[in-house]
Structure 1
C-alpha cells in the first residue's frame, strides 16, 4: 500500500495524517476499510476579518483547536472521544456525553452516580455545531503571489497554521466515533465531508485527488450503514465509491486497495444474501483490479496477499456454484502466490496475515476430507 492516504495533504502539523493507525494508512479500516482535507499544504487558511487587508495572526482557533494543542475539552465525548453528537447530560450529576454513548450505561461512567434520566443538552449541541460550521469551514483564500491580495474577498484573516483542514478533521472525528460504536455520529460527520467534496468537484471540475477522497469517504459511509444493518444503503455507497474510483488512474496503490475493497464488500453482501452469481461478479472485478496492480508493481508484498485473498473469494463462490475444478485451481494459484512471497523480518504483520490466508486456503483444499472445515475468510 502507498504510504500516502488520499487526504494526507490536508493534515499538516503535529499529529500528521489522522488516517494512520498502527503505522499504516487506513481507508475503509483494514476489515476493509476506508477517509481528509482539501488543501494543498494546510498552511494558509482564511476566515473573514474586520479589515480589508489580509492579516496574519498566530495559529489559534477561537475554540482552542490549533496545531500545537488538540483539546476539544467540553465539546468532545469522553466515551467515543469524538465531537459530541446529540449532546446529552445525565441527571442528576449533569455530566455530558453523546446520546448514543451514554444510553448504554446505567451509572455515570465519569462519577459513578446512578443515572435517573438522560436529558438533551441543546445549548451545548449548538456550540458543537457552531464549531463545525465555523472553525471547520475555514478555507484558504486564493492569493496573488505578488500582491498577496485575496481574490473576491474584502475581509479576511490568514491563519499562520492550522493542524487539519475541514475534511481531515471531520474524517478523524468520524473514525473516532465509528470505533466508539457511535455510528450515527460517524455517519453524520462523513456525510458533511462528502457534501463538501461534491461542492468542490462542482466548482473545480475534474479533480482526481478530490474524486479519490470522495470515493474513500463514500466507502466509509458504506461501512457505517453496514454496521447499522442497512445493507441497501451500504451497497449504494460502495457502488458509488467503486464507480468513482474505477474512473481514476490505478497507478496509486492506495486507490487500488480502496477500489478493490469496495468491490469485495459489495460481493460480501451479495454472498450473504445468497446471490452467488452477483457476488462472483464483484469478487472477480476486485480480482482483476488486483491482478493489474501486481503486474504494475510485483514487488509490493501487500498487493500479493490481497491478490491471494481475491483468488480465494472467487474460488469459494465457484465451489458453492458447483464448479469444483475451477475452485481448486483458484485455491492452488492463491497458495502459489503466497508461498513464493518472501517477507522481511520487519514485516511481522504481513507475515501473520500471509500465514492466516494460507491456513484458510489449505483448509479449503482439505474440505472433502473434512466437511466441517472453516469456510470463511476475512473480507479484504
Structure 2
C-alpha cells in the first residue's frame, strides 16, 4: 500500500486499472442524434473507451479489461459478486494504485453501494458512466471517464471509499442517487452533498465519509456464490396485504417496504405481517427519496418486529439487508447494522 507514497514512486505515473461493464457510456449508434432507444448490443470495449480520451496518458499509466458488456438493468447478484471479487483481486496487486469502473446508470448507485460495503482496500475506486451514448453529439462519457481516472490517480482519493464521478461531481457511493431519467447532472447526494469535484485535472475534496466502509466493513463476499433473497414492495393509499403475502409465501429471506412518510406501513399490510408466526426480516424504508426513517407511531418496531432503514433508500436498504443476512440472523444485530452503516 505504501508503494504509492514512497519518494521514488512520485517519479512514476500512478497505475490505474479500468474495469468496463458496458452501459450507455459504451453504446454507439449510426446517428449522433439518437440519444434514446439505443442498443445494448455491440458495446465499445474498454480499450476503445480509452482511445476516446486522448491525452490521459499524461496523468496515469492505464490498463483495462472488460468483465461484462451489458446494460446495467441486466445486472444480477452473480454479476455483483463476480465484480466485487475481481475488484478486490485487482486492488490487492501492489502495482495498482487505483481503479475505475465504467457502468450503466440505471443501477449504478446499487453496484456502487454494494462495492462500498465489500471492497477491502483503501485505494480509490471510482465508478462512472454517461447519460448519452458514445456516438451522441456532446457525449458526456469521455469527460466523465477522464475525471474518474484523474480522481483514482489522486493522493487525496485514498480512504474515501467507493465514489461515483459524474458531471464533475465526486459523490459517496453510500449516499448517491440517480435523480433524473435524462439530465446529465442526474447523480446527486440529496441529503449530504458532494465530497468534492474535478475541474480539468484538478481533483478537490472538501468532505469525507465517516461511516464504515472498505476494510472497516464486516462483510466479506469472496467465498459467496449467492446472496439472501430480499424483495422491495412499494406502498400507496388503500394498500392491501396482497403483495406482501405473495412475497412472504415465495420464501424470501427479507423484505424492504417503501413505506409512507417516515416509513409508515399501511394497516392491512402491517397487521398481516404482525400475525405471521414465521416472519422474513422486514425493513421499513420510505418511498420519499431523502430523509431519515425513524421510529413511527403507526408501526412501532418493537411491537411489529420491523427494522428502521435509517437514511437508506429502499434499493440500498435491500442491499444492506442482503449483506447483513450473510453474517447474522439476529434481529437486534441487524437493527444495529442499519444504525452502524
TM-score with structure 1 setting the length:
0.25
State the TM-score, normalizing by the size of structure 2: 0.27
Instruction: Give the structure with the higher percent helix.
Output: 1
User: Which structure's relative contact order is higher, taking Cα pairs within 8 Å and 6+ residues apart?
Assistant: 1
Q: Which structure is larger by alpha-carbon Rg, 1 or 2?
A: 1
